[in-house]
Amino acid sequence: MKETMPHPNIGTILAVRGSVVDIRFDERLPSINTLLRVGQDGNIAIEVWAQLDAHSVRGIALTPTQGLSRGMPVVDTGGPLLAPVGKAILSRMFDVFGRIIDRGVPLSDVTLRSVHNLPPPLVEQSTESEIFETGIKVIDVLVPLERGGKAGLFGGAGVGKTVLLTEMIHNMVGYHNGVSIFCGIGERCREGEELHREMKEAGVLPNMVMVFGQMNEPPGSRFRVGDVAVTMAEYFRDEEHRDVLLLVDNVFRFIQAGSEVSGLMGQMPSRMGYQPTMSTELAGLEERIANTANGAITSIQAVYVPADDFTDPAAVHIFGHLSASIVLSRERASEGLFPAIDPLQSNSKMATPGIIGERHYLLAQKIRQTLAQYAELKDIIAMLGLEQLSQDDRNIVARARRLERFLTQPFFTTEQFSNVPGKAVSLKDALDGCERILNDEFKDVPESALYMIGSIDEVHTEKPDVKPTPKPEQDKQYAVAHAS
């Protein structure tokens, strides 16, 4: 899939410093973002990032630079990095150059499109707000996602971001007749192979495209892989008129790659060592993810939060682009409450009566209020015990603990580890269950009966013998709760 020109513009390498390459062109100076090829069969790709003077440019290599030396000839391809688009890319896995990395048959009947595109004009963007149902109770009830919006999954390492993303891919087939595009930025190669195998076994691969820029690849490659995935998503939205679910894991690695490139280019770092152009680069990617009359690109992005610090500049800049923020809690994960979503820190701009309806809005507010009151009572319970609370406060604790367990859910993507069949729950069933718990219908039912179930109707059926691990200060609550 090599780019060619009728009369190639040949340059000469002046210097090589890691991934930074300076090249001289006597005939014609390539423009910014032009792709250059060098080496045997043009196997080393360099993207122009700066024009140093009238005859030389500075580029960032998108491939390893072993074997480059001064004086080597460089071919100007005359155009930018290109991504393959078309129906044939479905069920395939690509790298940043659009090359197949799934050991499948070569592609046919695809067209190449520049990865540098502008966002759709404001007049073409849709202003209607619609809910994007995921089949995951805690998200649909408390953090409703927007069709054509951007949602962030915030959390530190090991709290379940990737598992939640893969579950949404699985549920996309059941709830929406759309295309899923998974973009792995700075992913481990093991994760890519496992995801491809799992999606194939789950039968969702025919409506899915995977693009990976792995951890071991140069920063220039990791920085551009997001543009490749968005270009493919734009094709399905604009040409095929289909809804697209774009999953990015992890958008922090995009900022990290940009920071590495910025450092290599010699730019002065900004706050906490990030690149000075971070907000512009992030906006250039995020603004292309939009809802138009043709279709919608709904994006769910995992965001690694360095040291669980939500005031980190990267996390703060990403927050500004999102219509929903799903915060994963390490404390809830340690209690066995999966998905480990913190309902009090997570929020959505869609959670208004005009969009989700009066009943859903009031119910969500009541759930948050109950959980917030429980959080305030935890210190008293830890010091004095549950029996020292008033009867009203004890009722609040009982409702909150049952709500917490009802909002857990077994995932299809974790069946092989937990031996518990996965469940997808409709918004109606999730709301009905929460309402009945708040009305104390299940006050005489053990908390464990609500743990890891689908709809509330399953409470009276046999449960898997799994319980969340209580924290030490909660032992007394468990003893009181299960005394009956």
Rounded Cα distance, 166 and 450, in Å = 24
Out of 188, 200, 330, 467, which one is annotated catalytic? 188
Residue 169 tokens read as: 């891919």
CA 271 – CA 244 distance, rounded (Å)? 35
Q: 406 φ, ψ to 5°?
A: -65, -30
- Pick from 135, 126, 129: nearest CA to 349: 129
The one catalytic residue among 187, 217, 281, 404: 187
User: Phi and psi for 87 in degrees, rounded to 5?
Assistant: -65, -25
Helix (H, G, I), strand (E, B) or coil at 303: strand
Beta bridge partners of residue 447, listed in sequence order: none
Which residue out of 92, 113, 161, 237 is catalytically annotated?
161
Contacts (Cβ under 8 Å, ≥6 apart) of 339: 136, 138, 139, 160, 163, 164, 167, 328, 408, 409, 411
The rounded distance, in Å, linking the Cα atoms of 352 and 217 is 43
Indicate the pairing of strand 93-94 with strand 208-214.
parallel
Q: What percent of the residues of the chain are helix, what percent strand, and what percent coil, each to the nearest 5?
A: 40, 20, 40
Annotation marks residue 376 as catalytic: no
How far apart, in Å, are the Cα atoms of 319 and each of 151, 308, 447? 9, 14, 35
Q: Is 28 a catalytic residue?
A: no
The H-or-E segment that residue 6 falls in is none
Per-position DSSP letters for 242-299, written without gaps between them: --EEEEEE-HHHHHHHHHHHHHHTTPPP-GGG--TTHHHHHHHHHTTS-BBSS-BEEE
The question of whether 188 is a catalytic residue gets the answer yes
What CA–CA distance (Å, rounded) separates 341 from 360? 19
Residues belonging to the active site = 161, 187-188
